[in-house]
């Protein structure tokens, strides 16, 4: 009897040791997972453009403000490629144009037949203005005057080309109504300067170097978007926002010019968990002073403007943050 009790106690002791060991292993694994380095890719753009250094400034905030965070800003071919990388799981974040993101999410325009379902929004960052410039000799006062005129609408298949198409549509025009050219920003400005073009569309930050050079050499006129047309365009295409090109931006442009803008946007994989994205959204928008020091465009980023021009759903983590600070109520 005594021997049986000893054997039983021995078994209980061994079982207790086994349970303790398992608990320690589990605890160690949990601690290890909690402290594991989070390695993410932020897809940006070309090294000579804005997206790459701007993305680097964002990554720096995340890496310095969040424990165990390691985000790498990766040079890419910009918006369309970034969205495909996120959708395929080859990047977790991307700096993209919000109109291109809209096309990708809904499978339209340049993404016709290719709907990307794994992309969501953290927030919009800064405006990229659709600037419409014409020669001083053209006599053009409005987009409505473009009928029959020689107009460059950016590279074929580019976001600029779609911007031009949508704005013309707001005035009841199509590409068939103009003499369309597909030229780069530099080529467009040169065409206006040498008289082979009457006008052009350029979607970019303000000021744009090609237009600055044109203003200094041959002069230019900026064409405003009137409110009625702007309302029609914005109602149909939710990624546009109203903006103004300040007078004096280009030589000879002394008055403000009403315009439409798309927005550089921070996209995220829908597969990332809510807590992680909440933490990263909070860290970014609570350190905008550092973003401004890291890149000039950071000065244009605010939490209030980050919820405008959004046509692709917010990630639940980003939405949680914006609700927390009272900017989103739904």
Using the CB atoms, write b or e for 269-289: b if 16+ within 10 Å.
bbebeeebbbbbbbbbbebbe
- Tell the residue number behind the tokens 């206006």, with chain if given: 192
pTM over 0.85: no
User: Tell me, what's the pLDDT at 35?
Assistant: 62
Residue 145 has pLDDT above 80, yes or no: yes
Residue 11 has pLDDT above 60, yes or no: no
C-alpha 53/C-alpha 58 separation (Å) is 9
- Domains of the chain are 38-127+264-324 (3.40.190.10), 128-262 (3.40.190.10)
Confidence tier at 23 by pLDDT (50, 70, 90) = very low
How many Cβ atoms sit within 10 Å of the Cβ of residue 70? 12
Q: Determine what percent of the chain is predicted with pLDDT higher than 70.
A: 89
What phi, psi does 301 have (nearest 5°)?
-90, 130
Mean pLDDT computed over every residue of the chain: 90
- Check if the beta carbon of residue 54 is closer than 8 Å to that of residue 264: yes
Tell me the CA distances in angstroms from 7 to 3, 4, 20, 95, 163, one per residue in order: 6, 5, 20, 67, 82
In this predicted model, what pLDDT tens digit does every residue of 284-326 receive, in sequence order? 999 999 999 999 999 999 999 999 999 999 999 999 999 999 9
Question: What is the mean predicted confidence (pLDDT) over 271-276?
Answer: 97
Region of residue 325 (phi > 0: left; psi between -120 and 50: alpha; otherwise: beta): alpha
Confidence tier at 221 by pLDDT (50, 70, 90) = very high
Q: Determine what percent of the chain is predicted with pLDDT higher than 90.
A: 81
Residue 232 has pLDDT above 90, yes or no: yes
Residue 241 has pLDDT above 70, yes or no: yes
Q: Which of 10-19, 42-51, 288-297 tops mean pLDDT?
A: 288-297
User: Tell me, what's the pLDDT at 19?
Assistant: 44
In this predicted model, what pLDDT tens digit does every residue of 72-94 receive, in sequence order? 999 998 899 999 999 999 999 99
């Amino acid at each position: 009897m005594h021997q049986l009790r000893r054997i039983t106690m021995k078994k209980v002791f061994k079982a207790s040791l086994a349970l303790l060991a398992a608990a320690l292993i589990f605890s160690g694994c949990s601690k290890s997972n909690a402290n594991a380095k989070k390695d993410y890719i932020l897809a940006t753009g070309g090294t000579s453009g804005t997206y790459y250094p701007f993305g680097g400034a964002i990554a720096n905030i995340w890496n310095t403000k969040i424990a165990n965070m390691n985000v790498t800003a990766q040079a890419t071919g910009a918006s369309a490629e970034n969205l495909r990388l996120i959708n395929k799981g080859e990047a977790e974040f991307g700096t993209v144009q919000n109109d291109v993101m809209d096309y990708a999410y809904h499978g339209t325009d340049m993404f016709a037949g290719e709907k990307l379902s794994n992309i969501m929004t953290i927030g919009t960052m800064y405006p990229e203005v659709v600037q419409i410039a014409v020669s001083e000799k053209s006599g053009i006062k409005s987009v409505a005057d473009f009928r029959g005129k020689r107009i460059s609408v950016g590279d074929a298949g580019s976001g600029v080309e779609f911007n031009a198409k949508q704005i013309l549509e707001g005035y009841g025009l199509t590409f068939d109504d103009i003499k369309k050219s597909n030229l780069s920003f530099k080529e467009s400005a040169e065409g206006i300067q040498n008289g082979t073009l009457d006008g052009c569309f350029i979607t970019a930050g303000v000021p744009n170097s090609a237009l600055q050079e044109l203003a200094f050499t041959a002069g230019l006129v900026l064409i405003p978007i009137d409110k009625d047309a702007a309302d029609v365009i914005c109602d149909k295409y939710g990624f546009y926002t109203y903006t103004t090109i300040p007078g004096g931006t280009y030589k000879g442009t002394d008055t403000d010019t009403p315009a439409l803008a798309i927005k550089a946007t921070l996209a995220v994989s829908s597969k990332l968990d809510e807590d992680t994205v909440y933490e990263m959204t909070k860290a970014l928008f609570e350190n905008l002073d550092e973003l401004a020091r890291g890149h000039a465009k950071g000065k244009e980023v605010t939490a209030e403007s980050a919820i405008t021009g959004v046509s692709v759903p917010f990630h639940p983590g980003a939405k949680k943050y914006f609700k927390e600070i009272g900017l989103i109520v739904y």
